Structure 1
Amino acid sequence: MTNRDYDRRNTINRIEKIYRNLEKILDSLPKAFPSAMKDQIKDLILGDDELKKIIEDLEGYRPPKFFLIGRTGVGKSSLVNAINGRYLAPVNDVYAQTRGVDIYDYKQEDQILLQILDTRGLSESLALDDNISAEEMIKKELRAFLPDLCLFMLNASHRDDIGRDVRFIKNLCEDYKKNSGVELPVICIINKVDELAPSRFKDPSQYPLSKTKNINEVVSYYGDIIKKEDLKLESIIAVSSLMDWKLDDEFIDADRINDLAIEDLERLELAFDGRYKIDELIDALEDAIVDYKAVMGLRIACRMDKIMGDLADKLTQIFSAFSATIALTPIPVADLYPLFALQVVLVTLIAGLSARDISLKSSKEFIMSIGGVGIAANIFRFSAQQLSKFLNIFSITAGSAVSASVAAFGTKAIGEAAKNYYIEGIDIKKVKKELRNKIKKEKTKKN
């Protein structure tokens, strides 16, 4: 999974700015581009309900609130880092990082990404003072905090008897429903599967069948206990939140991290990614959260790449469909300027999503550098034109349909290439090779 270190607020502001300035961007097209086509594409983009909803969702979101509960050493702070894909919270292999009941705001710059109500370890549920028990304190904090989810964390490497823990959480959930009128969804997260035998395999891509079998057995073991105690779960997922860190190319031991200055903590980079099924966990979190504003907050915190990728896909879909509409004129092979100009605008918009403030000229150079102009030259000349002559013997519209499909394909291929390069960060050589393969396959289909 990837989640590059974006400044969330600036990224959202940039996306909103691009959307607001679409008319201005389209108006900057040369005069040779038909004005009627400019108006049509404006109406298509600005009138697209799905695109409009994505923009509106970015404007109205809130940080999700999670109630995190589990025994000492289950890796609660490490899990928060794994979900976010960056270092946000103190992590220590030996000492418990939380005492009592605490609320943490996990931030990037000044923006809150997640809010966590963290409890002491379940094995440490002792009286906080002479008047109130840990259980009563947690119930009180839950009512005030109003979490979106309860994340019940377990340790995969310890086959604990968790019957008492499950009953404790069930009691908390019943009290919460009684006082708030709504159910508190619970997801069980079995962390630290990387420590299961054979423990020397830390890279999930290299997990042997024996390790996968042990993971499944742990899930069954804990699942049976939870089922016996009749605690309702949204899902139960086994994960590894293993992430090693480096600073200026120097590996940082876990016991040294808490000694780093704040500015150094912010510069920590990922040295090894041993995360397992974290994407599946985030999917489960999204499905279980009831408030859509909190779902969007989670996506912004953990899946900014996906949000931008979805926007790029939507723009590509709109521009591809419009390319087909243009081609239905039909377009002569010698008159492909409107199509190329449309593709230049598409690349400019996608690049803008990724903080690349490029000009129409730069977008044109990008298309030419990856061989995008060759799509028209190759497919139209050797496929659409020849097939049109043949098909027009039987039907005027048949030839137009061929041109439309090729025009839509070319625009879609260029949009996907721009997404791969500008948003996903794929090397330009790989982008060019993939585009060339797509053109080759399309020529085979058409000829």
Structure 2
Amino acid sequence: MNFLYPAITIRNPMKFFPDFKNIFSTPNEPDLSAAFTKHRQTLPTLWLLGKTGAGKSSLIQAVTGNTTIETGNGFAPCTRTSLSYDFPEDKPLMRFLDTRGLGESDYDPGEDIRACQDRSNALIVVMKAEEPEQSHVLKALSLIKKNARIEHALVVHTAVCLIESEHERFQCVKYNQDQVEKAWGSKLDFVEVDFELNDGSSFGIMKLTEKLSYLMPIISELMEDRGHLDLEKKLFVQLKKDILWHAGIAGASDAVPVTGTVTVPAVQARMLYFIAEKYGLEWNRRSMAEFAAALGAGFGANFAVRLGIRQLAKLIPGYGQTVGSATAAVVSFSATYALGRVACKYIYHKSKGEEVSREELMKTYKKAFEGIKEAARNETGKG
């Protein structure tokens, strides 16, 4: 029997529906500190490269919605020449790395490269459109290109609306873009933005978030528009960051051989207790059994076996360190997120005294599982 899964292709997400016996058996979880550490070590990272005052803090504010964050305020030392900011701060899903040593003549990006090297990351070059003197940025960019394995880079030209003449603006952006592409050695995608106009509005933010979301899909999940959602979905979005964080922990722990059989169900149980508490529902054996019955006993029947097979696959030399671990991490992330999504739907309707069909729950689970896989690849460093 062929039990080795393709790295990412998952044709039937219902096969990875949780085994409720494992998830609900006890609220006493094992030590998850190693899983938390692993998760933080592999956070997808946006590496920001730019002069002081170029607009890096404003970019972070635009992505996170945290208008109080400033580079240097809320950041923690990461290397000798860089600071990092994890977002959300308490349950992080992504990291910003700000290079601080660009003005130093002896700046060596080696430490920063090593800090990002093994993560699914992108380099964001931030340049003020009206500032043509970018020698320190260009020098660092050349060194990074020579020594780092970075597949994705984006140039963000900021404060473009300070240049009133459209022709002059075009020339300024083109000059800086040409400088960057010469240092990088190839064409690069770019976006023009202005984070704060005189009337308090902004320019180009939607385009910026679209491009960043392409490089790092978790961003689109964090910035989901709530404007046209019904109440059930709005409540889910309020818990989405927490559910994604639990999914990230499950994915990180399942990337390590054997441990996933214990830690993944524990993380999922932790998440379900958290969700129930937020909805004001007592999560006990009776409510657990009702939830399992609503979903159908058959959904969870194969999960423990599949989880065990994924652990065995990770032990196969060569394969286990690449495809096996990648598959395990992505599947556990996706399955945990989908479980959180369907639990929110079920508990919401239960709190209203409403029934929700098994077919609707199945549809919700499958849609969530399939929809989160791109972010799962990125979050688990398997992009």
Do they fold alike, i.e. is TM over 0.5?
no
Range of TM-score over shorter length = 0.3 to 0.5
Question: TM-score normalised to the size of structure 1?
Answer: 0.38
Max Rg structure: 1
The structure whose RCO (Cα within 8 Å, separation 6+) is larger is 2
Question: TM-score normalised to the size of structure 2?
Answer: 0.43
